[in-house]
C-alpha cells in the first residue's frame, strides 16, 4: 500500500513536492522519487509484499519505464509464472505490470485481480498510463495543467495547486489522449446463478490474507458481513486478531464478543468516550476530505479503530461492499420492487466516493491497509449478476436482505449472527446518538455558497476548510465534499431523483 504522485510534462517542477509531500501517512516505511526532464514520480510505501529497501518507484529492466503503484495484486504469483521469461528484479506484486502491459497493452488490466491505482510512465517521452481498479477500492485523482498532468492518491495533494482536480472513475484509465473505460460490469442474467457463492467467498478471503509472516487482523462488528470474513479467515489464520470499537453498552458490543468467542480468536475492543471522539474530529474531517455528516459520523469510529489496529498489524480485512452487492440496506423494503436493482446499481457505482473513500482515508491515515474480499471481482460479478430474488426474500412475514449470503455461510455463523439485522457501524458502535458537532450558528456569506445541508454540516465545514483553505465552491470536486449521493460528475443521478416518479 502506498501514496503515489506524479507530474508529467509540467514546466514548474515545484508542483511535484506539493503533490507528493501530503501523502506520507499512506506509506510510512520508505519513500522514493524518480525525476527526468518530462516526468517526476514518487511513492510513499507501506511494505507488505517484498522486503523494504527496493528502489522506489519501480523501474523496468531498461530503466526507461517507471511505475508508482498503490494497492495489491492478489494473483501476482500466477501472473509471474505465466510471464516467467521476464527477468523480474524484485518480489513486488506490482512488477508484473511491466511485462503484462508491454505484451497485452491496457487489455492486460483484465487479467489483474486486486485493488489498485497506478501510474506507469516513460521517462524519456513522457507517455503514460494511469489506471484504477474496477470498483474504485483505491483512489486516484488527476488534473490537467496546460499540456501536462498532475496525479496523486488523495484530493488533499491538490489543495495548494492552481488546478481543478477530478477523480479517475473506477474501471477507467487515463493517457495523454484522455480517459477511457477498460472494465464493464457483467450483463445481469434473469436466471438463477449456476456457480455456488460459497467457494468464491472462500477463495476471495484466502487471496486477501497477508503473507504468513505478517500479522493479520479483521474489523469485527458482529454483523453478518464482517463475521463471514472473520470466520473464513480464522480457518487459515488461527493467529487472527479481531478489532472492534464501541461505546459501552452499544448494540455491537455483545455480538462482536460472541462471534470472536465462537471463532476462538483474539479480540481487541476499543471502548471510547465522548472526549476521545471530540478530540479526533479535526483529524478525521481532514483525512476524510469531506464534511458531509453521514461521511463524518461513519468515519469517526473507523478512524479510532484503525488507529488501534495499526499498532499491531499492517493488514486488516473488512466486510465493506457486501451491503451494496447483496441488498443489505433496509430502505429497499420501503421502495417499489421495480426500483430495487436500479437502487443497488446506483449505490454500488457510488462506492468509490462514499464508503470506499471513508474506508481508504481512515485506515491509510494510520498507514493501515484494509482489504475488502466482498469486492473481489469474482464475488462482485456473481452478486451483480444474481437475480434480486436471491438477495432479498420474505421470512416469517418480514423482508430479509442478503439472503444468498446468509444461506451460503449458514454453517460458519451462530444463528444469532446469521440472521442479525443490518446496523451501520455508526449505529452499532453507538456513535449515531452522539452530538459530534457544536451547532447553532448561521453560515456566513462565503459558506452559504457551499452545500451545507443542515446545521451539522455547517459545524463540520470549518474543520474541512482548515485542511482545504484554497478550495472554492465553483468546482464540483470541492462541492462534492459536502454531498453524499448527489455528485453530478458521477455515473448516475441523485438517488431521490431515480425514484421520484
Name the residues annotated as catalytic.
2
* CA nearest to 246, candidates 322, 190, 302, 317: 302
How many C-beta atoms lie closer than 10 Å to residue 147's C-beta? 11
Question: Which is nearest to 167 in space by CA: 155, 156, 178?
Answer: 155
Q: Is the separation of the CB atoms in 139 and 360 below 8 Å?
A: yes
Task: Name every residue whose Cβ is closer than 8 Å to that of residue 31 and which is 6 or more positions away in sequence.
Answer: 24, 42, 43, 44, 45, 56
CB contact burial 375-409 (16+ within 10 A = b; e otherwise): bbbbbbbbbbbbebebbbbeeeeeebbbbbbbebb
- How many Å apart are CA 395 and CA 458, to the nearest integer? 42
| Residues linked to residue 268 through DSSP beta bridges, in sequence order | 243
Contact 219, 309 (CB under 8 A): yes
Q: Distance (Å, rounded) from C-alpha 345 to C-alpha 325?
A: 8
41: which 3 cell numbers?
514520480
Can you tell me the distance from the alpha carbon of 255 to that of 416, in angstroms, rounded to the nearest whole number? 8
402, 373, 412, 322: CA torsion to nearest 10: -10
Let me know: does 424 contact 266? Beta carbons within 8 Å. no
Closest CA to 487 of 351, 396, 388: 351
Helices (H) then strands (E): counts for the chain: 18, 19
User: Other C-beta atoms within 10 Å of 78: how many?
Assistant: 13
> Which has the closest alpha carbon to 424: 414, 433, 436?
433
Amino acid at each position: 500500500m502506498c501514496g503515489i504522485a506524479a507530474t508529467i510534462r509540467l514546466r514548474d517542477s515545484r508542483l511535484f513536492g506539493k503533490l507528493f509531500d501530503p501523502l506520507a501517512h499512506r506509506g510510512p516505511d520508505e519513500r522514493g522519487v524518480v525525476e527526468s526532464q518530462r516526468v517526476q514520480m514518487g511513492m510513499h510505501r507501506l511494505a507488505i509484499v517484498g522486503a523494504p529497501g527496493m528502489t522506489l518507484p519501480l523501474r523496468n529492466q531498461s530503466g526507461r519505464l517507471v511505475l508508482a503503484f498503490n494497492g495489491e495484486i492478489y494473483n501476482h504469483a500466477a501472473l509471474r509464472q505465466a510471464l516467467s521469461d521476464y527477468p523480474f528484479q524484485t518480489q513486488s506484486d506490482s512488477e508484473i505490470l511491466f511485462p503484462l502491459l508491454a505484451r497485452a497493452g491496457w487489455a492486460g488490466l483484465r487479467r489483474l485481480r486486486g485493488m489498485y491505482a497506478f501510474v506507469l510512465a516513460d521517462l524519456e517521452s513522457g507517455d503514460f498510463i494511469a489506471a484504477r481498479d474496477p470498483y474504485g477500492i483505491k483512489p486516484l485523482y488527476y488534473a490537467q495543467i496546460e499540456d501536462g498532468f498532475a496525479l496523486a492518491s488523495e484530493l488533499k495533494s491538490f489543495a495548494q495547486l492552481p488546478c481543478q482536480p477530478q477523480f479517475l472513475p473506477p474501471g477507467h484509465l487515463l493517457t495523454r489522449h484522455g480517459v477511457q473505460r477498460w472494465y464493464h460490469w457483467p450483463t445481469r442474467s434473469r436466471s438463477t446463478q449456476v456457480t455456488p457463492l460459497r467457494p468464491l467467498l472462500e477463495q476471495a478471503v484466502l487471496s486477501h490474507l497477508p503473507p504468513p509472516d505478517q500479522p493479520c487482523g479483521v474489523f469485527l462488528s458482529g454483523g453478518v458481513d464482517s463475521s463471514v470474513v472473520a470466520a473464513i479467515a480464522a480457518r487459515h489464520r488461527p493467529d487472527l486478531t479481531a478489532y472492534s470499537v464501541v461505546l459501552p453498552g452499544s448494540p455491537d458490543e455483545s455480538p462482536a464478543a460472541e462471534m470472536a468467542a465462537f471463532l476462538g480468536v483474539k479480540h481487541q475492543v476499543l471502548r471510547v468516550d465522548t472526549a476521545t471522539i471530540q478530540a479526533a474530529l479535526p483529524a478525521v474531517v481532514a483525512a476524510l476530505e469531506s464534511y458531509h455528516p453521514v461521511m463524518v459520523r461513519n468515519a469517526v469510529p473507523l478512524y479510532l479503530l484503525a488507529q488501534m489496529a495499526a499498532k499491531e498489524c499492517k493488514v486488516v480485512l473488512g466486510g465493506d461492499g457486501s451491503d451494496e452487492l447483496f441488498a443489505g440496506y433496509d430502505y429497499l423494503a420501503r421502495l417499489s420492487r421495480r426500483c430495487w436493482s436500479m437502487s443497488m446499481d446506483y449505490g454500488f457505482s457510488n462506492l468509490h466516493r462514499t464508503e470506499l473513500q471513508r474506508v481508504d482515508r481512515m485506515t491509510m491515515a494510520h498507514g493501515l491497509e484494509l482489504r475488502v474480499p466482498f469486492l473481489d471481482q469474482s464475488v462482485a460479478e456473481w452478486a451483480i449478476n444474481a437475480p434480486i430474488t436471491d438477495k432479498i426474500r420474505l421470512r416469517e412475514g418480514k423482508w430479509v436482505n442478503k439472503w444468498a449470503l446468509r444461506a451460503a455461510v449458514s454453517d460458519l455463523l451462530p444463528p444469532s449472527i446469521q440472521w442479525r439485522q443490518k446496523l451501520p457501524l455508526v449505529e452499532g458502535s453507538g456513535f449515531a446518538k452522539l452530538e459530534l458537532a457544536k451547532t447553532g450558528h448561521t453560515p456566513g456569506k462565503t459558506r452559504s455558497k457551499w452545500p451545507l445541508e443542515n446545521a451539522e454540516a455547517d459545524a463540520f465545514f470549518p474543520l474541512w476548510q482548515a485542511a482545504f483553505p484554497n478550495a472554492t465552491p465553483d468546482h464540483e470536486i470541492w462541492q462534492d465534499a459536502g454531498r453524499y449521493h448527489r455528485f453530478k460528475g458521477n455515473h448516475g443521478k441523485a438517488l431521490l431523483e431515480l425514484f421520484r416518479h
